[in-house]
Amino acid sequence: MAPLMFMPAQEIAGMLGAESGEPWKVLDVAGGHGLFGITIAQKNRNARVTTLDWPHVLEVATENAARMGVSDRHAIIPGNALAVDWGSGYDLVLLTNFLHHFDSAACEEILRKAEAALKPGGRAAILEFVPNDDRVSPAFAACFPLVMLANTPAGDAYTLSEISAMASAAGLSNPVARPLSNGIQTLVVAVK
């Protein structure tokens, strides 16, 4: 997935204002290859990024952080994102390509963990395949639930109104959606 996510990671770092240079504490939940958080650290020399994922997966993120020149500002939290302590005081929690693996109740719990990990005014950045409310457009996002049906016990592609409702139930507010230039995914940012 890393080669496919390089360009979206660059775009998301720009959308989030990483180049502002403000000191950020960033958590990349289920970060896998780590590119989303690592790219933010590349664009912002004052950002410190923690990637949370399974121990063997974090080996890849650690290698990528070293290769991309940010290992001195990259930390890890090994374990199951649903079970481990995420810490607190984050300016930004990244939830990229994660919520679609779960049903809405589990997504609300994940978003509650994000809200608890954020400092006041912090942001949760959610990258997902977001179908329109009609659930038949845009085509790729509308078809994505079939992938989740075949590969997860209860995953789905959630509409903006569904993501907004889950975020609100978790204590996050003002969700703003911005489609990525790839035309496939949408970044939704909500605030604590």
pLDDT digits (tens, 9 = 90+) for 81-131: 999 999 999 999 999 999 999 999 999 999 999 999 999 999 999 999 999
Domain coordinates in residue numbering, the chain: 2-191
Domain 2-191, classified CATH 1.20.1250.20, yes or no? no
CB atoms within 10 A of CB 6: 13
Residue 141 pLDDT more than 80?
no
| Residue 140 pLDDT class (50, 70, 90 cuts) | confident
Alpha-carbon span 9 to 77, nearest angstrom:
20
Strand locations in 114-185, DSSP E? Answer: 118-128, 173-179
Strand partners for 76: 51
